[in-house]
Amino acid sequence: MSDDADLVLPPRPERPDDSDCCKNDCEMCIFTLYENKLAEWEKLCSDIKRKKCSKRLDLPSVLSQIKYTPFQLVSITTLTTDTNKYTFQISEKHLIDLKNEYSSVLNIEVGQHLIMKNKVGSNGCIITRAYTPISDVDTHMQGCFEVLIKLYPEGKMSNYIKSWTAGEIVHWRGPFGDFRYSRNEYEQVVMCCAGAGIAAMVRLIKSIVEDDEEETLVHLLYSCKKYEEMLMCDDISYFRAFCNFLCCLFVTQEIPQNVRYGETVRQGRITLNIVRKIVSEKSLEKTLVLICGTESFNEDMKKYALESGVLESNIRVF
């Protein structure tokens, strides 16, 4: 009998359906990712057969970068006039099909995002959008995740999302994103975000401030047009109780009288002088700047960070 009969080989990656491709030559093309996964699988199988590798893959995750997974919309929570929080759970039917008691776990790292698809128009053209989960690891262990989504009046995806009700089946793939953070790797992390861009920051903030061995200072600069449009306010208030978290909120319109106790709110935009002052409080080589907002906001913040002396390798735009 061949020795190969005793080997435990990983399952071959499943080829995506042709209908899953949006045919827009996007950076995260589902078939390009499939070819990469297939090449990795072939090499791994070859190494195992040659006794060069004893690696055995973990049980499959419910999420895949190359195949969309159905999730059921559990609830919709209104946060502002144009932004909601959506809670999803893996479809029970899909779990039954997987026949795997561990496959409900979602391996979503801090800073990673998921891609959602929808068909629009009479020709069934596929459009996709990326969203960053704001939920924690415990939630992901249960096969659930939460995302913030801002709805736009004329947005193609927004019009689809506006029709959602609890029980809706929505298809997601991922996670994507190679951002990695190591404990105490930096002296400070400066986060510049606008609007729904706060979603990319909250999980990392939580992981830092709740870690007793962390000495890294987190400085959040959060900008919105109106104070009432600020998102994740309860989370920000919770973070403020930790000694290694500082936050300044910026609004371009008049500051209302009903701001929360202890909040620092300034009228105006995040400027070069503000960024320069904050990043200079610690070693520039040990300062990480994270940015997430509109395209113009991201360009401005990156420019300010570079002009303030932050290393380009220490600047990350989500």
pLDDT digits (tens, 9 = 90+) for 92-129: 776 666 655 445 678 888 889 999 998 877 777 889 99
Q: Residue 169: what pLDDT?
A: 93
Q: Which domains does the chain have, with CATH numbers?
A: 69-176 (2.40.30.10), 188-317 (3.40.50.80)
pLDDT digits (tens, 9 = 90+) for 137-158: 777 778 899 999 999 998 889 9
Mean pLDDT, residues 68-72: 92
59 is in an annotated binding site: no
Does residue 40 register a pLDDT over 80?
A: no
Between 57 and 45, the higher pLDDT residue: 45
DSSP code string of 117-156: EEEETTTTEEEEEEE-B---HHHHHTTEEEEEEE--TT-H
Q: Residue 316: what pLDDT?
A: 96
Identity of the residue numbered 236 = I
Are the C-beta atoms of residues 171 and 63 closer than 8 Å to each other? no
- Band (pLDDT 50/70/90 cuts) for residue 26 is confident
* Residue 185 to residue 288: CA distance in whole angstroms: 9
Q: Residue 103: what pLDDT?
A: 59
- Band (pLDDT 50/70/90 cuts) for residue 55 is very low
- Band (pLDDT 50/70/90 cuts) for residue 52 is very low
Tell me which of 25-39, 93-107, 171-185, 282-296 is least confident.
93-107
DSSP code string of 175-216: EE------TTSSSEEEEEEEGGGGGGTHHHHHHHHT-TT---
Tell me which of 36-40, 185-189, 280-284 is least confident.
36-40
Q: SS3 for 96?
A: helix
Q: What is the largest CA-CA distance in the chain?
A: 80
156 is in an annotated binding site: yes
Q: Residue 53: what pLDDT?
A: 39
222 is in an annotated binding site: no
Mean pLDDT, residues 279-306: 96
Tell me which of 8-22, 130-144, 169-183, 245-259 is least confident.
8-22
Q: Residue 89: what pLDDT?
A: 93
Q: Residue 249: what pLDDT?
A: 95
* Residue 191 to residue 287: CA distance in whole angstroms: 11
206 is in an annotated binding site: no
Does residue 11 register a pLDDT over 90?
A: no
Q: SS3 for 74?
A: strand
The pLDDT mean for the chain works out to 85
129 is in an annotated binding site: yes
Tokens of 18: 């042709």
pLDDT digits (tens, 9 = 90+) for 190-247: 999 999 999 999 999 999 999 999 999 999 999 999 998 899 999 999 999 999 999 9
Q: Residue 30: what pLDDT?
A: 76
Say if pTM beats, i.e. exceeds, 0.75. yes
